[in-house]
Chain A
Amino acid sequence: MIQRDRLLPTLHRMLMVAALATLFAYLLIYVVYAGNLIAFPFDYDQGEGFELVDTILFSRGEFPYKDTNLYPFYSSNYPPLFHVIAAPFVWLFGPAYWYGRLLGFLGTLITTGAIGLAVYREGRRPAVALLAGLAFLASNTIYHIGPLFRQHMTMVMFETLAVVVLAHVSEIEDARRRRRTLLVGLALILAAGYTKQLAFATALAVFVFLFIRNPRRSIIWGAGFALVGIGIFLWMDFATGGQWWLQTISANVNEFIPAQTVGLYRLWFSLHGFLIVPALLMVGYELYFSRLSIYSLWLVAGIAVGVLSGKWGAGDSYFATSIAGLCLVSGIFLSRLLNGDLAFPPTNLYARLFVAPLRRGVPLARAFSLLLVPLLYIGYGRAVLHLPTEGVIFAPAADLLGVSANALNGFYDSAGRIAGGYADIGHLTKPSDVDAGWQIVERVREASGPVLSEEAAFTLLAGKEVITNPTQLLNLANNGQFDSSQLVEMIQSQAFGLVVLRAQFYPPDVLIAIAENYRQEEVIHMNGFDYLLLRPIP
């Protein structure tokens, strides 16, 4: 029989095991999903193929920032680093999706490790550190964008590594070591920024942190950082004849949809609230009773940048940085809560006013925290529930949990599909999807002349030239920076043997020209979407 004084620690251990089992289950689901996507040879998420095209261009030593008014009307709106990292794979394996997805997947594992390491370093609680890391992968958002051929999670990896490296830089007394640490940390920030523009928020948080700790150091290193960052920027702009600025900055000023931002913030809170609350308590604690850490400032910056998720073309991925931050900061808070080392200085006004009267409740609160900490992770595990609902393992698991598919292709996602901008992915692909993809490739091969395809995979695999990047053309058109006349002329003269449409993200005048000169002759269903195959009207 368990003695009364052993009851709470025993319950704590049992609940911690349950929390770890829950989050490990999500890790397994994530690995299955990643494996499934890595083996899938076509676009899974809209736009992945164009990231592959960028990678191919870099592997040839070409910039993908091109004049979209001219044939083949292709350009990229993303910075280069992710594609440059993937470029050697093109030399070795040719054009394929698996290595980009593998890189994205590995990036999320590295981020998980960095979160766990940071939490362990600050709280010395291995189980909480593990939970904090796993919580990152368990997030619905991280799960569904992690193993894509996209640069976003690589940016988050660089951001996380940067803040973990820089967290204690101000306390390093040895000047050489401090300089080395600053150099590595700021290089990682630069890497994040040249992976995706959104890392500017992390860069701001880092420099605010350095400014608070030592303004002189912040100004000197900030000047050096700006010099290198702007230097690279100007060189790329010069090397691309101004296309770098036009394609990656000007074209990214898109329409802002406030309802989308509000919806995504609500969704973000409903999924991650169990960890957001402790993370914000940590921010408040540091702000009023301790010193602000780089982690707290990073979390605030990550939450703030979520405002941009309302831009056309943006979505829940814009919350990925804040999710890494909230897993990390909540992990530190919960570790320190268990350790009982959240100190409230007696000289602090607010400690005297608000904390001192509660001192008698401290032993009770500490005992309560033994149950609260694992319960928060279990609650989080329930809130982010997502899993495939088909197959020998997942079908009985879904039955056991009492859930059924509420998304495409046999997939349950607690996020639902209610917020605009939430990516409609996460399901596993099937052999029939692969067959359907090859069927489209065959049609592209058979077509005479060039093919206008809304996804790059079909033309790449058919050995034909990739023409246009539809969303980028739409970005530019929305900003009055795309002259569609040459493309429309080609469509009107039926220069394309086949047109493959899915989401119809081309600018309106291009879509009108297609509708007037091509007719839909076939629909092939792949991966939950209808691919429309249009041939010239005789």
Chain B
Amino acid sequence: MISKRFTLSKRLLGVLMMAGGIGAFAAIIGIDIVDVGREGGIGPAQQIALGLALGLAVVGLTLIPLGDAPA
């Protein structure tokens, strides 16, 4: 991955996007679990962020079948 000629494939990009999306989703939910003192549950800004994280993961998933084609 750190070679001078390496470039990301669609599959690897998909995996990274999916991991990033799932990670972000978990982190956003985690805010409420860790910061239990907060009131009002998941707010509008969090809902937008959750939607974006989920979208990133889904798009990532659809890239995985494209294999080694360069991203």
What residues of chain A have their CB less than 8 Å away from a CB belonging to chain B?
211-217, 219, 256, 258, 261, 287-288, 291-292, 304, 307, 345, 347-350
A347 CA to B71 CA in the complex, in Å?
15
Bound together, the chains give a CA A518 to CA B70 distance in angstroms of 68
Instruction: Select which of B2, B44, B45, B66 is within 8 A of A215 by beta carbon.
Output: B2
Give chain B residues whose Cβ lies under 8 Å from the Cβ of A288.
62-63, 66
Q: Indicate if the CB atoms of B44 and A258 lie closer than 8 Å.
A: yes
Q: Is the interface of A mostly helix, strand, loop or mixed?
A: helix
Of the listed stretches B5-13, B23-31, B32-40, chain A binds B5-13
Given contacts A216-B2, A291-B71, A292-B71, contact A349 B48 (CB under 8 A): no
Smallest CB separation, A352 vs chain B (Å):
11
Contact residues in B for A211 (Cβ distance below 8 Å): 8
Is the CB–CB distance between A287 and B59 below 8 Å? yes
Contact, CB under 8 Å: B59 / A345: no
Closest to A214 in B: B7
CA distance A180 to B53 in the complex (A): 36
- A345 and B69 contact, CB distance less than 8 A: yes
Output the least CB separation between A268 and chain B (Å): 15
Which residues on B sit within 8 Å (CB–CB) of A348?
66, 69
When the two chains form their complex, are residues A214 and B48 in contact, meaning their CB atoms are under 8 A apart? Answer: no
Partner pick for B48 among A219, A258, A291, A292, CB 8 A cutoff: A258
Kindly provide the distance from the CB of A322 to the nearest chain B CB, expressed in whole angstroms.
15
Chain B neighbourhood of A307, CB < 8 A: 48
Cβ B7 vs Cβ A258 within 8 A? no
Among residues of A, the one whose C-beta sits closest to the C-beta of B14 is A287
What is the minimal beta-carbon distance from B12 to any residue of chain A, in angstroms?
9
Cβ of A204 to closest chain B Cβ, rounded Å: 12
- A215, B48: Cβ atoms closer than 8 Å: no
Q: Which residues of B contact A261 (CB under 8 A)?
A: 48
Question: Does A349 lie within 8 Å of B66, measured CB to CB?
Answer: yes
Partner of A214, one of B4, B59, B66, B69: B4
Chain A nearest CB: distance from B62 CB in Å? 8
**Please, what's the 1-or-0 string for B33-71, where 1 marks a CB less than 8 Å from any CB in chain A?**
000000000001100100010000001001101100111
A212 near B8: Cβ-Cβ < 8 Å = yes
Q: Which residues of A contact B48 (CB under 8 A)?
A: 258, 261, 307
Contacts of B70 in A (CB 8 A): 291
- Whether A215 and B4, one on each chain, are in contact in the complex, defined by CB atoms closer than 8 angstroms, is no
How far does the alpha carbon of A292 sit from the alpha carbon of B12 in the complex, in Å?
14
Collect the chain A residues with CB atoms within 8 Å of residue B65's CB.
349-350
Return the chain A residue nearest B13 by Cβ. Answer: A212
Q: How far is the CB of A280 from chain B (nearest CB, A)?
A: 12
The answer, among A216, A258, A291, for a CB contact under 8 Å with B6, is A216
**Contact call B71/A212, Cβ cutoff below 8 A:** yes
B62 nearest in chain A by CB position: A288
Least CB distance, A335 to chain B, in whole angstroms: 23
Would you mind naming 22 contact pairs between A and B with Cβ atoms under 8 Å apart?
A: A212-B8, A213-B7, A214-B5, A215-B1, A215-B8, A216-B2, A216-B4, A216-B6, A217-B4, A219-B2, A256-B44, A256-B45, A288-B63, A288-B66, A292-B71, A304-B52, A307-B48, A347-B69, A348-B66, A348-B69, A349-B65, A349-B66
**Is there an interface contact between B69 and A216, defined as CB atoms closer than 8 Å?**
no
Report the minimum CB–CB distance from B7 to chain A (whole Å).
6
Q: Which residue of B lies closest to A258 (CB)?
A: B44
**Min CB–CB distance B57 → chain A (angstroms):** 15
Q: How far, in angstroms, from A258 to B45 measured CA to CA in the complex? A: 7
